[in-house]
Amino acid sequence: MHELSVTQGILQVAVDAATEAGAQRITAIDLVIGDMSSIVDDSVQFYFDLLSRGTLAEGAVLRFRRETASAVCQQCNHQFTVNIPLVPCCPVCQSTQIRISGGRAFYVESIEVDDEHTNCPGNTQRE
């Protein structure tokens, strides 16, 4: 259920940036979400569709880019990709001394807006 508050934050960031830029409408929002964040894309999309009604972001497309997590075994230096649920040990030497990096990101990478002030067809900008 934490996707509701996360999606509220996404919407607020996007609307604030678009308003500051003088945009009339948000057409797309690019999100980076780490695989370790436990955020579900479909849930974010569901809440976004509800919350964005009547805002500059209504009808905007959410584009999700997943960031993978990797692990390095401190015993044998084997590097491997990890997902939730985490493996408790290295798949090569079975050591439990593994270090995980990446996969925790969650941010708005870019926002595409439509600036209808210019009367130019297809005038789309990225913020």
Domain ranges of the chain: 3-68+104-126, 69-102
Return the higher-pLDDT residue of 127 and 73: 73
Residue 83 CA, chain-centre distance (Å), reads: 17
CATH 3.30.2130.10 fits 3-68+104-126, yes or no: no
The band of 84, judged by pLDDT with boundaries at 50, 70 and 90, is: confident
Report the 10 Å Cβ neighbour count for 60: 23
> Mean pLDDT, to the nearest integer, of 7-18?
96
pLDDT at 117: 57
Tokens of 92: 């090569």
DSSP strands (E only) in the chain: 25-34, 61-67, 69-73, 79-82, 98-102, 106-114, 124-126
φ and ψ at 55, to 5 degrees? -115, 175
